Amino acid sequence: MLRSVSAKTVRDHARAFLWWMLGLVATVWLTVAIYPTVRDRPELNRLVQDYPEAIRAFLGEGSIDFVSAAGYLSAELFSLVVPLVFLVYAIGLGAGALAREEEDGTLDLLLAHPVSRRRLVVEKAAGSGALVVALGVVLWAALWASAAAVGMDIGPGRLAAATAAGVLLALAFGALALLVGCATGKRALATGASAAAAVAAYLVYGLAPLVDALEPAQKLSPYYLYAGGDPIRSGLDPAHALILLGLALGAGVLAVVLFDRRDLRV
């Protein structure tokens, strides 16, 4: 289990991962279990249609259809809960990957071993990324199993597309947190900056239909790359997916370069 830095990264977070997994599975299960009562009350759709224009615009297209399986999951899980959970998880991992060892002082002894700084960042990033992907697999499996249990009209492919979009969004912001952590060695700064960037991305995307000045910026928001293509109905947009992946890899490369160049803090 301790044969490499990436293996150790996974192991260090194994116990916490179980708790995240349990919480996520419980959330998915409870949400899906309520669905049959919603499906049997199509008047709920009219309720949402009576919301003020501004709120409907902010909630997005999916909110107008609340009763279909895709519409329900989109409104109840994928518009906020899933990105929030995955962003918090990925940003925490990314920010801590190196900055935590640097702040704790364990990095000095680690880097006194024959491991290049570049390889260290790559291994930490690989271990952290694998954990985020694994949490995505958990989400997908929980959705599929619970949707099947209540006879929800949605297949594993659509669930996989929506989940993958969430994972990619999380990887992009997790990589940003890794980058700030690698560049500064400060975990709190890395967490705060990345969380602020994620909130900004969400607000820009949500408010753009309401604020003329933000309109052109909407498609620049990473949240648009996550939700704009409506993956739960239309599948994963390859261009959006590639851009998110590119952002994650770009931030990762920059993290490697900056970490390689600076002095480690005492």
Partner 1 sequence: MAAPAIQAEGLTKSYGSSRGVVDLAFEVERGEVFGYLGPNGAGKTTTIRLLLDLIRPTRGRASVLGLDARRDSVEVRRHVGYVPGELALYPRLTGREHLSFYASLRGGVDPRAVDDLVERLDLDLDRPVADLSKGNRQKIALAQALMHRPELLVLDEPTSGLDPLVQQEFYRLVRERTAAGGTVLLSSHVLSEVEHVADRVAIVREGRLVVVEDVAGLKARAVRRLVVHFAAPVAAEPLASLPGVRSVEADGTGLRFEVEGSLDTLVKAIAAHEVVDIVSHEPDLEEIFLSYYREGERGAA
Site string for partner 1, 65-104 (x = CB under 8 A): ---------------------------------------x
> 184 — alpha (psi -120 to 50), left (phi > 0) or beta?
alpha
Shortest Å distance, C-beta 127 to partner 1: 13
Which residue in 37, 109, 212, 213 binds partner 1 (CB under 8 A)? Answer: 109
Rule CB under 8 A: say whether 115 interacts with partner 1.
Answer: yes
Site string for partner 1, 127-146 (x = CB under 8 A): --------------------
Residue 30 to residue 52: CA distance in whole angstroms: 28
Q: Which of 109, 213 has the CB closer to partner 1?
A: 109
In 3D space, the residue among 128, 141, 28, 125 whose CA is nearest the CA of residue 85 turns out to be: 28
Shortest Å distance, C-beta 62 to partner 1: 42
Here the tokens at position 72 are 């329900």
Which residue in 18, 106, 151, 215 binds partner 1 (CB under 8 A)? Answer: 106
Which residue in 37, 43, 50, 113 binds partner 1 (CB under 8 A)? Answer: 113
Residue 169 to residue 257: CA distance in whole angstroms: 23
Which residue in 105, 151, 155, 246 binds partner 1 (CB under 8 A)? Answer: 105
Sequence-distant (6+) residues with CB within 8 A of 182 are: 97, 98, 99, 121, 255, 256, 258, 259
Rule CB under 8 A: say whether 114 interacts with partner 1.
Answer: yes
| CA distances (Å), origin 253, targets 43, 183, 210, 244 | 51, 12, 36, 14
Shortest Å distance, C-beta 179 to partner 1: 20
- Applying CB under 8 A, the site for partner 1 has a residue count of 21
Q: Which of 6, 63 has the CB closer to partner 1?
A: 6
Sequence-distant (6+) residues with CB within 8 A of 175 are: 94, 125, 247, 248, 249, 250, 251, 252, 255
Rule CB under 8 A: say whether 19 interacts with partner 1.
Answer: no
| CA distances (Å), origin 134, targets 6, 17, 265 | 14, 9, 32
Rule CB under 8 A: say whether 234 interacts with partner 1.
Answer: no
Which residue in 116, 155, 219, 242 binds partner 1 (CB under 8 A)? Answer: 116
Q: Which of 213, 266 has the CB closer to partner 1?
A: 266
Sequence-distant (6+) residues with CB within 8 A of 231 are: 158, 161, 162, 164, 165, 237
The one segment of 33-41, 46-54, 109-117, 136-144 that binds partner 1 by CB under 8 A: 109-117
* CB atoms near residue 213 (< 10 Å): 8
Residue 80 to residue 40: CA distance in whole angstroms: 24
Q: Which of 69, 97 has the CB closer to partner 1?
A: 97
Binding residues vs partner 1 (CB under 8 A): 2-5, 8, 12, 104-106, 108-116, 263-264, 266
